[in-house]
Structure 1
Amino acid sequence: MKGSVLIVIFFLIGVCLGYVHVVPATFEVDDYTFYALCVLLFVVGYSIGSDVGIITKFKQLNPGYALLPLMTFLGTIGGSLVVSLILPQRSASDCMAVGSGFAYYSLSSIFITQYKGVELGTIALISNILRELLTLLLAPLLVRFFGKLAPIAAGGATTADTTLPIISKTCGRELIPLSIYHGFLIDFSVPFVVTFFCSL
């Protein structure tokens, strides 16, 4: 829990520093974010490679875990439908388009803005950022109350990259391959699912 809070604190510090323009405008944030993510994935990959028993542990996992991406998809779309009942000013297709971003906020918000306008695109950006942040912050609680698969399902498309370290720490290193598999499939589905719901 302490590690998740620290991650969110650093995020908020970044937001504040960006707001007051402490860093010069010429600073290419996207480039440094990419490099930081590469270093992060290298460290995670190194920890996987150095654990000689991790492949054996993965083979021992329940084969039903292969259905986790499908369950994440169905749960997210079902939740989006429920939200559409609470927000009568938004159609079910709008809510499902936002939900089907699966925390892939950069790509999904662009698609939604193109199809549905800036307002819904902004909603998609904020809601998908919040999904990633809540996964980072609440991963230990999700494991405690809902089991080790909960943070992976909650992380959506981010479980192969940004939320992978916290998933490794809270769920166990034996679930890292499952987390990467889950994130890859969900990530791959986002452009198709978002555009499908936007076109309804």
Structure 2
Amino acid sequence: MKGSLIIIGFFILGTLCGFFHLIPFDISKSNISFYALCALMFSVGLSVGHDPQTLKNFRSLNPRLIFLPVATILGTVSAAALVSLILPHRSAPDCMAVGAGFGYYSLSSIFITQYKGPELGTIALLSNIMREIITLLCAPLLVRWFGNLAPISAGGATTMDTTLPIITRCSGQQFVVVSIFHGFVTDFSVPFLVTFFCSI
């Protein structure tokens, strides 16, 4: 939760800097966001490759639970497509690109800003931050109403890092490997799905 609030704080700070022209050059016309994206992708690869225990844990996973991230991806993208029906000024691929961030706000918003502009990139940032915050706040209710896998699916790509502690506390220690696997798969799918929907 604290990390999400820090991100929101930096977003508000950036908005104010842009609005009041506190930065002497137009950052939107530079390659800074591309370099930031490359740094993020490097960090993701580094975190996955640095922990060999993660790959060992995947081998002990129940084969049926492999379908959990697939269900999360299909459910999220389908729901985003349905949302486009009540947002006539937004196409289905735009809404699906936002949904395909799966809570990975830093990466997906940069991709969407590159492809579709800062307005949709901002929507993606806020939408995916809200997904993480809702998971952090509502995990106990999700477990009570929908079962132990519900907060894992709700957390999307964040279940291998920021929402893992609350998922472990609410769903149980036995769901740690499931949560990490789910986060890994959805996290890995973000750049491919977001760019795919942005290019339609």
1:195 and 1:161 mapped to 2: Cα distance? 23
Change (3 A) 1:102 1:18: closer
Who is 2:157 aligned against? Answer: 157
Identity of counterpart residues, as a percentage?
Answer: 63
Q: Provide the rounded CA distance (Å) in 1 between the counterparts of 2:10 and 2:161.
A: 24
1:129 Cα deviation from its structure 2 partner: 0.2
1:97 maps to 97
- 2:76 paired residue number: 76
- Report how far residue 16 of structure 1 moved: 7.0
Matched position secondary structure for 2:85: helix
Shift of 1:183: 0.3
- Give the Å deviation of 1:64: 1.5
Instruction: Assess, with a 3 A threshold, how the Cα gap between structure 1 residues 86 and 15 changes in structure 2: closer, same or farther.
Output: closer
**Normalising by structure 1, what TM-score?**
0.72
Tell me, yes or no, if the aligned pair for 2:4 and 2:129 is still in contact at 8 Å: no
State the partner residue of 1:173. 173
Deviation at 1:63, TM superposition (A): 3.1
Count the aligned residue pairs: 162
Q: What's the TM-score once normalised by structure 2's chain length?
A: 0.72
Three-state SS of the structure 1 residue aligned to 2:84 is helix
- Which fold has the larger relative contact order, with Cα–Cα distance below 8 Å and residues 6 or more apart in sequence? 1
Secondary structure of the corresponding residue to residue 103 of structure 2: coil
**CA apart distance, 1:19:** 6.8
Alignment of 1:85-124 (within 5 A): 85-124=85-124
Q: Where does 1:24-63 land on structure 2 (aligned, <5 Å)?
A: 59=60, 62-63=62-63
CA distance in 1, matches of 2:190, 2:101: 6
Q: Which runs of 5+ in 1 are unaligned?
A: 1-6, 21-40, 49-54
Distance 2:11 2:190 in 1: 28
Cα root mean square deviation, aligned? 2.9
Mapped to 2, the partners of 1:13 and 1:197 lie a distance apart of 29
Aligned equivalents of 2:149, 2:12: Cα separation in 1: 36
Structure 2's unaligned 5+ residue stretches are 14-46
Flag the 1:114–1:66 CA change in 2: closer, same or farther, 3 A: same
SS at match of 2:102: coil
Q: Specify whether residues 170 and 112 from structure 1 end up closer, same or farther in structure 2 by C-alpha distance, changes over 3 A only.
A: same
